Structure 1
Amino acid sequence: MKIKRLAVVIMALTILAVTAVSVYAAGDVASAVESTWTTARGQIKTVVNNVVFPVLDLILAVFFFVKLGSAYFDYRKSGQFEWTAPAILFACLVFVLTAPTYLWSILGM
């Protein structure tokens, strides 16, 4: 019984010693993260400006025109035009279209 406990303790200490070495091998983690961020910041900004915002613009534009068309057909049917949903989609579209001009200054990039 004592041998099994001793073997478990020795094994746990060995695993702890092996994994603790890799923790100290990293050095200054904060400076590594900061340097990685400064290197990747330009690439992230380029991807967001050239991929993310145009995709959001396209999706919102399609939803806006579909909702505008369906609101028009509802107007033809009932005689009352519902402005709420097209107005909200238009405001979101304008917000996303203008976001790249001020977003990066807010984030400090």
Structure 2
Amino acid sequence: MRSLLSFFTKNVLLKVASFNGVFILIRIGIGAIMSRIIADYAGAAGMAIMGNLRNFTQGIQTFAVLGFEHGLVSYAAAYRKDFTELKNITKLHGLYQSYLV
């Protein structure tokens, strides 16, 4: 059991996958709660409008990113030892995304 735990703590991919899984579960739960609230207050027509708005904003965000996420991941992998350069890259990416969106 101890060797399995040490393997899990040393493997970066497993850590990221577990954090991603927790994030997805939280997002699903919050989405279900928000859908219930919107359905109670706005009704079926309000749910349809909110769905259309969500699809529109997601499409705009996808267009605005234009594949920068893959570039950011590759730069993060390349500069993972150089913290200052990695910090500069993520700041620049955040500034660019906030400007576009």
Query: TM-score normalized by structure 2?
Result: 0.38
Please identify the structure whose Cα radius of gyration is greater.
1
Higher RCO, 1 vs 2 (CA within 8 Å, ≥6 residues apart): 1
When normalised by structure 1's length, the TM-score is 0.36
